[in-house]
Structure 1
Amino acid sequence: MATDSHPLPTEDEVLTYFDRCSNWGRWGPGDSAGTINLITPEKREEAARLVTSGRAVSLARQWNTVGGPG
């Protein structure tokens, strides 16, 4: 919701976000993994130490497999 003190950005401003916030080239010209490069072996070990139970939680979402109306 835009207000006088926080107006909505213009279309041109929004389009500049793509270049300004882009990670292309961050890990070199030949990289195709992207941000997953941040998940290092050390980070996986750190995350594993946070586990306090063996409970599994599904992150799946229901998917509508019925085509169109009717």
Structure 2
Amino acid sequence: MKVIFSDYGIDISEENGHYYITFDEGGFAIQMKTYEITKSDAEKAKLSANDSYQVVIKYQNKEKKHN
């Protein structure tokens, strides 16, 4: 995977047309988490810290619904 953006506490990577967001989901210890995201969400997350936070929460909530 190639990192195409790194700021606001996130990395956005792209591989074969698929986009991924990686961030630290840990509280006291570092726990890196990666989600596959849409291209439009990848673009949104690059806009600002608030937009990146909204994208992170969206995918965390999706995962909680599936568990």
Shared fold (TM-score greater than 0.5)? no
Bigger RCO (CA 8 Å, 6+ sep) = 2
What range describes the TM-score normalised by the shorter chain of this pair? under 0.3
TM-score, length of structure 1 as denominator length: 0.18
More strand by share: 2
More helix by share: 2
TM-score, length of structure 2 as denominator length: 0.18
Structure having the higher Rg: 1
